[in-house]
Amino acid sequence: MRKHLLTLTLLLPLFSLAQQRALTHDDYDGWKAITNYTYTHFGDHIAVETSPQRGDSHVELFRVRGGRVVATLERASSPSFTADGKWLFVNVSPPYAEVRALKLKDTKKEDMPKDHLVRVNVRNGEMDTLFNVASFKVHSNHGAVIAITLEDEPEVEEEEEADSTEVEVETDFIVDGDDEHGSGYFSKTAKRLVVWNLETNKRDTIDRVTTFKWAEDVDIIAGVRSAGDSTQPSEFFTANAATVGNSQGWMSVIDTAFEDISQFTLNSTGSKIAWLRTSDSADADVRYYELRTSDGAKMGATIIATDDTQMPGGWMLSPHSSLNYSKDSKSLYLATMPVPFVPEEDTTVLDEERVKLDIWSWNDEEIQPMQKVNADSDKKQSYTARLNLANSKLFQLETEELENVSVDADETVMYAVGYQVPHAERASLSWNYPTRRDFYLVNVMTGGRELVARGVRSWPSLSPDEKYVYWWDGSAKNWMAYRVADGQEIILNANIPTPMWNEDHDTPNDPGSYGMAGWMEDDEAVVLYDRFDMWKVMPGGDAVNLTKGIGRQNETSIRYQRLDRENRFLSTGDWIVSTFDDRDKSTSYTEFRWKEGKFEELVGGDYRLSSLQKADSADIYFYRKETISQYPEIYAVRGDDLADAKKLTSTNPQQSEYRWGTSELVKWTSPRGIELEGLLLKPEDFNPNKKYPVLVYFYETYSDLLHNYWNPRPSASTINFPYFLSNEYVIFIPDIVYQEGYPGRSAEECIISGAEMIAEFPWADASKMAIQGQSWGGYQVAHLVTRTDMFACAMAGAPVSNMTSAYGGIRWGSGMSREFQYERTQSRIGGTLWERKDLYLENSPVFYADQVSTPLLIMHNDGDGAVPWYQGIEYFMALRRLQKPVWMLVYNGEEHNLMQRHNRMDLSVRMGQFFDHYLKGEAAPEWMVKGRPYLEKEYNEATELITE
């Protein structure tokens, strides 16, 4: 009897799996993801927005204690709690299907259904609704107030919702743009603003509002009003939501009849307001701005006029840079800029007679494509200055000689750090990347500066108490600091015996660091990371291994978790650290009593933990946990016993209906004796007595992602792991270790040796193996098929095929030349085309196209801004000329990776057909057998399988 029971027990999982089905491309829309979540300051409630890949999102409100769902809001997004945690607001959109159907009918925008706003009582889940909402901003730091803008024209019919109460607000106010309006700034898109105090349940409206802001710590609001009818000029106002609905005096006008207000700000208490305004019309060649300020609700006074002599000659206040009060409200940070040059218009030449010409010069600091990409930002180049509000004195911090100064208005007290790329270095950006920078310490009180360091390929930072400027020097492989008090330069890691640089660095440039945890109080010490451990360093003094070498001993990296978002320093109490075991890829959150050097694991195991957060005003923690078969759900717990956390969300329960996959770590040795790792993904119902086709995917290294969850989704460029696992493929993802100068050969050694290792398993069908990669992975596919015929087919997305022609090509997205990529970064050649012509030729697949016998599918899109489209063309044309089986998919106007979902769906179908044909022997589609004529592209997808 026991034997029969055991047999049944063993059969039940198999029977269950037999009921599961394989994923299809039609299933992607059913898969959802957590796209946004927020919780109250007290952590007692959390609102989670979940969205499908196409369709209607929804928001669930959870009570953390007990994990109960208080409310579910369909078609909802953008959840926001009031600061007191009593109310939740969400935006609710019309149904996706309804909107799509109306778009198919070419419905006018003004006739489309509008969004509305739902308010939820957090305690009992009761709801009420405001219709016709354009936008809203809940005050996140104070009380219970919200500002709402309403669409110009309300819906005539208002939908009925169960258990919902409509909040009545009239909305027909806007001035017809064809009518005469008052003086100053006018906008047809102005809205009625509703300011609602939920504590008093009173609200009032301000019409004609175009933009507004809350003060950070109080319920003061400021905003800009468009001109209304002929008696109503433009206005800049401030209002106190605490007195809303009590009297007519709750709102004050502090400026009027201006033509534009480009920037404005309030200090944290709302007691000071500053704004940039102009009287110049929008038709003026140059609009000159003046700075005005107001204390409270008083009319504004001009502090810096348009012709203020404190600005450099030929300069003006910049309307393109934000205004920010210092934390003590004694200073205002703003920006100036050179007056834009306006060329005189030549009225004697017709537009069609004008010469359209770019002139590329060998001594341009930026090549013409970069100048084109940066043209708009260059026009708006602005330079930070500080205004002393006590005496209205202006101190210029950034200049054309020091263009980058990092000011944090909330934190900066006396000093800021800046950097400048010397003009002599700028022309070499195309190959000498990242460029060298000179660092400066800037006194924000005086504008004075002093040189800190020259020629460093990184960015400087300032310690929280402004006692040190610090940076990573990759060429010296050291953390450096400059002591502000005496100008002394210090090697922070001078007394640390282990490497602070990336030990796995394998590109021909300076290595990066492992980063740092941060600074201790008063800048007394800084905590640096090596590969595994944490070191407490007294600048210029001792270094102590806080983690006692336990990380290196166990090959486990230990990293500080910053949970107090307001604290600039490391916590003085016990820490929570994350750990990552490099051997088995397990993770944990662990309590670290750093003063004693003792550890106590709180939660951990063979999964990936991420996004640990703590509520602002309570000991409630949230984190996410995932494996290859478990979506990264949100967990919550009261207190720091994280192992007791309860799973709140259940994002994709339908996954149980589908065949899924498993992941494991595999290891092997390359022909050069390098110990390698990779991921082996198998179907969930894997049968070792069955033969499986194998897809080999790669991009640098993936083994650390052993416990990652992969969403089923249409492909932007690469194979979707869940889809192919569900459809009975095995997936192998080998790590690649590179040798400088030989990227192709390195990939060849690692990938082929790994594939040969996989082929030795009895379940692997060695005759049905394929490779796939995108971008750098696409290049490696293009190279591999010139070196081996062990793969039944291959797919390469956006491959570089000719390093000699790609070397001088342009990355059109940034305007940069690609030279740096080959000399110093991913392509890893390590020299110029003229210094190592042999390596550029050896690593260019197009020169070995005659050796290709593997059927190859290429995707290279004509809008690719990263890898020039002609690289795919060169390889396709070479293989076509040699009469090798090759296809190239070119998605018109698409980027390096596909952005449009319908194109992603199309690629997914075609990749599936391609691999199914060569690895499973299924019929080929029409596009592979016959191609598709250009004239048929509008109506013939050519994806029908040809079974003849």
Q: Which pLDDT belongs to residue 476?
A: 96
**Which of 11-20, 58-67, 187-196, 430-439 bottoms out in mean pLDDT, i.e. has the lowest?**
11-20
Q: Which pLDDT belongs to residue 298?
A: 87
Contact residues for 468 (Cβ-Cβ < 8 A; gap 6+)? 462, 481, 482, 483, 484, 490, 523, 526, 539
Average pLDDT of span 489-501: 97
* Judgement on whether residues 640 and 758 belong to the same structural domain of the protein: no
In the chain, % of residues over pLDDT 70: 95
Cα-based distances in Å from 182 to 172, 177, 453, 857: 18, 11, 56, 63
Strand residues in 779-829 grouped as ranges (E): 793-797, 810-811, 816-817
Instruction: Find tokens 């692997």 and name the residue.
Output: 764
In a domain, 669, yes or no: yes
Q: Does residue 9 carry a pLDDT above 50?
A: no
Question: How far is the first Cα of the chain from the last one, in angstroms, to the nearest whole number?
Answer: 54
Q: Which pLDDT belongs to residue 245?
A: 82
Sign of CA dihedral 175, 180, 181, 184: positive
Longest dimension (CA), the chain: 104
CA distance 364 to 358: 12
Contact residues for 284 (Cβ-Cβ < 8 A; gap 6+)? none
352 secondary structure, DSSP code:
G
Q: Which pLDDT belongs to residue 18?
A: 57
In a domain, 311, yes or no: no
In a domain, 408, yes or no: no
**Which of 335-344, 430-439, 744-753, 894-903 bottoms out in mean pLDDT, i.e. has the lowest?**
430-439
In the chain, % of residues over pLDDT 90: 89
Last residue of a domain, one of 587, 618, 651: 651
Average pLDDT of span 363-373: 92
CA distance 241 to 253: 15
What the block records as the tokens of 12 is 């039940």
Q: Which pLDDT belongs to residue 110?
A: 87
* Judgement on whether residues 617 and 758 belong to the same structural domain of the protein: no
Q: Which pLDDT belongs to residue 603?
A: 98
Q: Does residue 305 carry a pLDDT above 60?
A: yes
Q: Which pLDDT belongs to residue 433?
A: 84
Average pLDDT of span 694-723: 97
> Residue 167's pLDDT band (boundaries 50, 70, 90)?
low
* Judgement on whether residues 680 and 824 belong to the same structural domain of the protein: yes
Query: Using one digit for the tens of pLDDT, what is the confidence trace for 537-575?
Result: 999 999 999 999 999 999 999 999 999 988 999 999 999
> Residue 153's pLDDT band (boundaries 50, 70, 90)?
low
For residue 823, what is the enclosing H or E element? helix 819-823
- The string of DSSP letters for 245-261 reads TT-GGGEEEEEES-SEE
Q: Which pLDDT belongs to residue 807?
A: 94
* Judgement on whether residues 615 and 672 belong to the same structural domain of the protein: no
CA distance 426 to 816: 12
Average pLDDT of span 316-341: 97
Average pLDDT of span 809-813: 91
Average pLDDT of span 590-601: 95
In a domain, 703, yes or no: yes
Q: Which of 542, 429, 519 is nearest to 811 (CA)?
A: 429
* Judgement on whether residues 761 and 636 belong to the same structural domain of the protein: no
* Judgement on whether residues 772 and 838 belong to the same structural domain of the protein: yes
Cα-based distances in Å from 808 to 252, 743, 815: 60, 19, 12
Sign of CA dihedral 858, 863, 867, 871: positive
Q: Does residue 14 carry a pLDDT above 50?
A: no
> Residue 151's pLDDT band (boundaries 50, 70, 90)?
confident
Q: Does residue 869 carry a pLDDT above 90?
A: yes
Q: Does residue 194 carry a pLDDT above 70?
A: yes
In a domain, 102, yes or no: yes
Q: Which of 580, 577, 575, 579 is nearest to 593 (CA)?
A: 575
Strand residues in 582-644 grouped as ranges (E): 587-593, 598-605, 608-614, 620-627, 630-638
Domain count, the chain: 3
CA distance 315 to 382: 10
Q: Does residue 376 carry a pLDDT above 90?
A: yes
Q: Does residue 164 carry a pLDDT above 70?
A: no
Contact residues for 867 (Cβ-Cβ < 8 A; gap 6+)? 775, 778, 798, 799, 800, 806, 860, 896
Strand order of the β-sheet with 260-266 is 260-266, 272-278, 290-295, 301-304
Residue type, 261: I
In a domain, 255, yes or no: no
Cα-based distances in Å from 286 to 35, 261, 263, 315, 905: 42, 15, 17, 12, 48
Q: Does residue 172 carry a pLDDT above 70?
A: no
Contact residues for 713 (Cβ-Cβ < 8 A; gap 6+)? 28, 31, 53, 720, 904
Domain encompassing residue 62: 33-131
Q: Which pLDDT belongs to residue 166?
A: 54
> Residue 180's pLDDT band (boundaries 50, 70, 90)?
confident
Angle between helices 743-759 and 776-784 (to 10 degrees): 70
Contacts 24+ apart (CB under 8 A), 653-658: 654/30, 655/629, 655/631, 656/20, 657/20, 657/21, 658/20, 658/21, 658/22, 658/23, 658/27, 658/726
| 346-350, 479-483, 812-816 — most confident range | 479-483
Please, what is the average pLDDT of the chain?
93
* Judgement on whether residues 624 and 689 belong to the same structural domain of the protein: no
* Judgement on whether residues 604 and 632 belong to the same structural domain of the protein: yes
Query: Using one digit for the tens of pLDDT, what is the confidence trace for 633-673?
Result: 999 999 989 999 999 999 999 999 999 999 999 999 999 99
What the block records as the tokens of 146 is 């919200």
Residue type, 448: G
Q: 771-794 burial, b if ≥16 CB within 10 A, otherwise e?
A: bbbbbbbbbbbbbbbbbbebbbbb
Average pLDDT of span 676-696: 97
> Residue 428's pLDDT band (boundaries 50, 70, 90)?
confident
Query: Using one digit for the tens of pLDDT, what is the confidence trace for 498-538?
Result: 999 999 999 999 999 999 999 999 999 999 999 999 999 99
> Residue 168's pLDDT band (boundaries 50, 70, 90)?
low
* Judgement on whether residues 609 and 742 belong to the same structural domain of the protein: no
* Judgement on whether residues 636 and 686 belong to the same structural domain of the protein: no
What the block records as the tokens of 829 is 């050649």
What the block records as the tokens of 637 is 């717990």
84 phi and psi angles, rounded to 5 deg: -80, 0
Q: Which pLDDT belongs to residue 650?
A: 97
Average pLDDT of span 98-126: 94
CA distance 187 to 180: 12
In a domain, 184, yes or no: no
Please list the residues that pair with 252 across neighbouring strands. Answer: 238
**Burial class of residue 477 in the structure, from the number of CB atoms within 10 Å of its CB (0-12 exposed, 13-18 middle, 19+ buried):** middle
Q: Which pLDDT belongs to residue 10?
A: 36
Average pLDDT of span 737-741: 95
> Residue 155's pLDDT band (boundaries 50, 70, 90)?
very low
* Judgement on whether residues 854 and 938 belong to the same structural domain of the protein: yes
Q: Which pLDDT belongs to residue 793?
A: 98
Last residue of a domain, one of 89, 108, 131: 131
What the block records as the tokens of 854 is 């593997």
Q: 83-116 burial, b if ≥16 CB within 10 A, otherwise e?
A: bbbbbbbbbbbbeeeeeeeeeeeeeeeeeebbbb
* Judgement on whether residues 622 and 681 belong to the same structural domain of the protein: no
Query: Looking at residue 809, which CATH number applies to its domain?
Result: 3.40.50.1820
In a domain, 769, yes or no: yes
**Which of 10-14, 248-252, 698-702 bottoms out in mean pLDDT, i.e. has the lowest?**
10-14
Residues 690/695/700/701 CA torsion (nearest 10 deg): -30
Last residue of a domain, one of 629, 651, 673: 651
